[in-house]
Copies of this chain bind each other. A is one copy, B any other.
């Protein structure tokens, strides 16, 4: 009988869960594939930490070389979490050079160093799997590997960060502030103590880059992109949006427009009846547009160590089955950059606080019109003694004009509180 030895980098919640799934399925794998999966050496950093699996028979080591240089190990399961992105890259590259297949889970490493890792894997005989890095429980990598063969993908839109989506859903449903909703997410374990990666949009950015490279075969560096933090949304905007028939969602938009990347990582207004607007709680949704397949949407739970470990287990079986990834490799021996990178530019939602004085509204509309911006809707709301909320829906504006326009609006009796783009199909 064939034997395959699996080594581990890291044994946190995901790694421990994966060990459990492998153990439970060992007999089934032997029966179905005639392969015995053995768990080999496991690199951990702290020998004294409690683990989510029985470690009595595991070979734990704090020396990473015992794993990545071990000739016995065929496949490396990388479960490093967010820790030490650059180190993780080095371990992976050395493992590939040592002819080991890789099952990745660190999205940050893949987003930062994919341009080094992916072509190296493509040139080699090894297999690189990454389904745990993006989409939570959604098997998006396997879908991208086995579908869209005779067509090209030009657009990816989605909710890739379940934490932020949970917070937004909470705000919308329970009419609570971002802060309160974040607190609840933290108490439920959906958000980390330091939630920056999630609510700052960075987690979404990494995942967007990974999807772009595998779906569109184009590369963009992390530092070429900026995010609008999801935490910039207030309940006031959410309520006005709902009144207008829109939800505000923590979106990622990646569009290949003849080699130019149009992107947005930040809050967007999206029509209430759109399938993405109806993706709530801690769920992800990835919408992909193929020239033949049309619009496809993939929905699944975002957070959770079990779905993540389950995705890695499916990756492991794919490698055992020797699901041919020639196509994957040949396509990815060379990855080209996008020619240009531009922020997605669309109609805008504006909220201004304006001094409640006759004539102010016409001054505001005059300023917009001096920039040749069309006002499609204007609503006054929440009239107070001295101020009033003015909500405007306007046509798109060249992004380099945005700060001048905002300065001008802020320079007299009004203050721009928020500017949020609309997502349109």
- Which of chain A's residues 306-365 have a Cβ closer than 8 Å to chain B? 306-307, 309-311, 313-314, 317-318, 321-324, 326-327, 330-331
Stretch of A107-115, A141-149, A396-404 lying at the B interface: A141-149
A157 smallest CB distance to B (angstroms): 12
Asked if A296 is at the interface of the complex by the 8 Å CB criterion, the answer is: yes
CA distance A142 to B327 in the complex (A): 16
CA distance A137 to B297 in the complex (A): 10
Q: Give which listed residue, B146, B278, B297, contacts A318 with CB less than 8 A.
A: B146
Cβ–Cβ < 8 Å partners of A318 in chain B? 146
Sorting the interface of chain A by its residue count into under 10, 10 to 19, 20 to 34 or 35 or more gives 35 or more
Are A142 and B147 in contact, CB atoms less than 8 angstroms apart?
yes
Cβ–Cβ < 8 Å partners of A280 in chain B? 273
If over half of A's interface residues share one DSSP class (helix, strand or loop), that class is named, otherwise mixed; here it is mixed
- Which of chain A's residues 266-281 have a Cβ closer than 8 Å to chain B? 273, 275, 278-280
A315 smallest CB distance to B (angstroms): 9
Q: Give which listed residue, B33, B279, B297, B327, contacts A327 with CB less than 8 A.
A: B33
Are B146 and A296 in contact, CB atoms less than 8 angstroms apart?
no
Asked if A370 is at the interface of the complex by the 8 Å CB criterion, the answer is: no
From A310, which residue of chain B is reached at the shortest CB distance?
B292
Are B143 and A139 in contact, CB atoms less than 8 angstroms apart?
yes
Are A298 and B301 in contact, CB atoms less than 8 angstroms apart?
no
With A321-B324, A324-B322 already in contact, the answer to whether A275 and B295 are too (CB < 8 A) is no
17 pairs, A vs B, C-beta closer than 8 Å: A25-B149, A139-B293, A139-B296, A142-B147, A146-B318, A146-B323, A148-B314, A150-B310, A275-B275, A275-B279, A293-B310, A295-B301, A296-B300, A298-B298, A299-B299, A321-B326, A323-B324
Measured CB to CB, the residues of A under 8 A from B are: 21-22, 24-25, 28, 31-33, 137-139, 142-143, 145-151, 273, 275, 278-280, 283, 287, 290, 292-301, 304, 306-307, 309-311, 313-314, 317-318, 321-324, 326-327, 330-331
